[in-house]
Amino acid sequence: MSELAGRVALVTGASRGIGAEIARELARGGARVVVGFRSQREAAEAVVAEIAAAGGEAWAVQGDVATAPGCRALVDAALAQGGPHVLVNNAGITDDRLTLQMTDEQFTRVLDTNTTGTFRMSRMALEHMFRSRDPLGSAIVNVVSVSGLKGNRGQANYAASKAAVLAMTRVMAQEMGRRKVRVNAVAPGFVETDMVADVDPRVTEEALRMIPLRRLGHPTDVAPAVRFLAGPGAAWITGQCLVIDGGMTA
């Protein structure tokens, strides 16, 4: 299948975990992919090499989405390739602490990356998408979290950041629909990534008891949904959030 052939996709936080698998999946769909990373250049270049080995085309580009220059570097890389036609805002961090113990810096740092970074990336990409009047339309897919839907102890900052991104998703979908730009979100549950590996094992055990499918997710459970929302099969879907959590929030 090559439903994304001729499209340029920009994926932030794509050096590992869910972001890396999304980059691979979009490349399998025919997109040329900008693999955004903050610090793990070697890992990002490994993703690029995998895509190239499979016959695709990709570039590793450094940019910290918590800063305006970092966002600009990523978007400019996509512009240089004729895009972005697809933006996946995946980059995110956690810094868990109970509310009474959480510092202002911990709260702000998470929102700077997860929320403000998503806003800046989207605004910069939308400047191009708005002007391009692409007859096939453009797509933004924001990776949020079930934490932004139901809340988890110790994640006031993370849950707030993801709930805010979900709200932005709906606003941007309203604003950009007339320009054929679709804006949607996916909300993964407990997925086996480095981020979840750092969670207290007791939290993971409790999550497993709450998941009807009785397993943690894998990045390969999330990436196909992003590919769908980025492609023509979702041509009449915007402002929505697809929850991918094994039934935990059902």
Cα→Cα distances 149→19, 145, 164, 176, Å: 21, 7, 10, 24
Cβ neighbours of 69 (radius 10 Å): 8
- pLDDT for the residue 1: 64
CA distance 135 to 137: 5
pTM: 0.95
- Per-block mean pLDDT, blocks of 10 residues, the chain (250 long): 93 97 98 97 98 98 98 98 97 94 97 98 96 88 94 91 98 95 96 75 82 94 98 97 95
- pLDDT for the residue 152: 81
E-assigned strand segments in the chain: 8-11, 32-37, 58-62, 86-89, 138-143, 181-188, 241-244
- pLDDT for the residue 185: 98
Residue 237 corresponds to which tokens in the numbers above? 């879907």
- pLDDT for the residue 232: 96
- pLDDT for the residue 136: 85
- pLDDT for the residue 73: 98
* Catalytic entry in 37, 107, 158, 228: 158
Active-site annotation holds for 158 = yes
Closest CA to 245 of 114, 115, 147: 147
Which strands form 32-37's sheet, in the order they lie side by side? 58-62, 32-37, 8-11, 86-89, 138-143, 181-188, 241-244
CA distance 6 to 201: 43
